[in-house]
């Protein structure tokens, strides 16, 4: 569904991604884990069109998308949910969600999608008329996720959805990401919370200093000595 081949990317003169390749198949949950500064967010920005790679190709649903603008990539059904808190603070929860349905095809179905999103996040329905700035950190994250789903994506990319949340909410977020499978949504999950991520992921990649160092199924990686030592502290 999504395929990256030999991506190299730069921030000015500094190379941040080295010869990266990655593949996400339909209906999979694929995880990308790594420490701070490993290049995870850069990779997501490259996929969603905010940055363009110096070399290599990105294709989605069989079409090259590197070089396309972010909004046309969203319209193809690829949604990027940025790090928490990036909601529109002075708009209501409902307005935030409606804005998520901005792409043409999604706008026509927004009432229907809204119902589905409220089913996934009942909390948001309770807060419908409230300004987004008055939400708690967890609720803001739910709102950002809900807004991302409003564009009716085929593939959702989450950038650290559990970041800065209380442990109970972290579990809730992972439960929701896992449940997206039932809605036919493919997931690319970028996380620092390695254990929970590998538990729900079908496959995972480990990124270090802009290079892929490991690749395998979630269960395999959980058992690997390297991951245990470097990320799980065992």
Pick 108 or 115: Cβ nearer another protein: 108
Residues 6+ apart with CB under 8 A from 47: 2, 4, 58, 65, 78, 80, 157, 188
Pick 94 or 228: Cβ nearer another protein: 94
Q: Strand pairing of 55-60 and 2-11?
A: antiparallel
The Cα 232–Cα 64 span in angstroms is 36
Q: How far is the CB of 79 from another protein (least distance, A)?
A: 8
Give residues in contact with another protein (CB under 8 A): 48, 50, 69-71, 74-75, 79-82, 86-91, 95, 98-100, 102-103, 107, 147-148, 150-151
Pick 85 or 216: Cβ nearer another protein: 85
Q: How far is the CB of 111 from another protein (least distance, A)?
A: 13
Task: Evaluate whether 48 touches 80 at the Cβ level (below 8 Å).
Answer: yes
Pick 47 or 212: Cβ nearer another protein: 47
Task: Evaluate whether 159 touches 81 at the Cβ level (below 8 Å).
Answer: yes
Q: How far is the CB of 128 from another protein (least distance, A)?
A: 13
Pick 140 or 203: Cβ nearer another protein: 140
Q: How far is the CB of 69 from another protein (least distance, A)?
A: 7
Pick 151 or 193: Cβ nearer another protein: 151
The Cα 148–Cα 87 span in angstroms is 11
Q: How far is the CB of 75 from another protein (least distance, A)?
A: 6
Q: How far is the CB of 220 from another protein (least distance, A)?
A: 32
In the chain, beta strands by DSSP E: 2-11, 14-24, 29-33, 55-60, 63-64, 78-81, 155-159, 186-191, 203-208, 211-217
The Cα 170–Cα 161 span in angstroms is 8
The Cα 225–Cα 223 span in angstroms is 6
The Cα 110–Cα 152 span in angstroms is 9
Residue 216, φ and ψ in degrees, nearest 5: 170, -175
């Amino acid at each position: 569904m999504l395929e990256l081949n030999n991506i190299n990317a730069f921030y000015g003169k500094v190379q941040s991604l080295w010869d990266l390749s990655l593949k996400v198949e339909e209906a999979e949950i694929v995880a990308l884990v790594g420490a701070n500064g490993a290049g995870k967010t850069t990779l997501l920005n490259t996929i969603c069109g905010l940055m363009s790679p110096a070399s290599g190709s990105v294709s989605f649903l069989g079409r090259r998308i590197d070089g396309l603008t972010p909004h046309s990539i969203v319209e193809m059904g690829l949604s990027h949910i940025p790090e928490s808190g990036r909601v529109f603070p002075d708009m209501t929860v409902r307005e935030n969600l409606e804005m998520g349905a901005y792409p043409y095809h999604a706008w026509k179905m927004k009432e229907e999608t809204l119902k589905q999103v409220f089913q996934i996040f009942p909390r948001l329905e309770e807060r419908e008329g409230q300004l987004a700035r008055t939400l708690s950190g967890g609720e803001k994250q739910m709102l950002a996720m809900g807004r991302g789903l409003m564009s009716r994506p085929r593939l959702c990319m989450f950038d650290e959805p559990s970041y800065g949340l209380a442990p109970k909410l972290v579990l809730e977020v992972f439960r929701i990401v896992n449940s997206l499978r039932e809605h036919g949504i493919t997931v690319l999950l970028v996380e620092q919370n390695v254990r929970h991520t590998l538990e729900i992921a079908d496959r995972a990649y480990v990124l270090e200093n802009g290079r892929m160092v490991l690749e395998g199924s979630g269960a395999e990686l959980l058992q690997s000595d390297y991951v245990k030592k470097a990320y799980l502290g065992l």
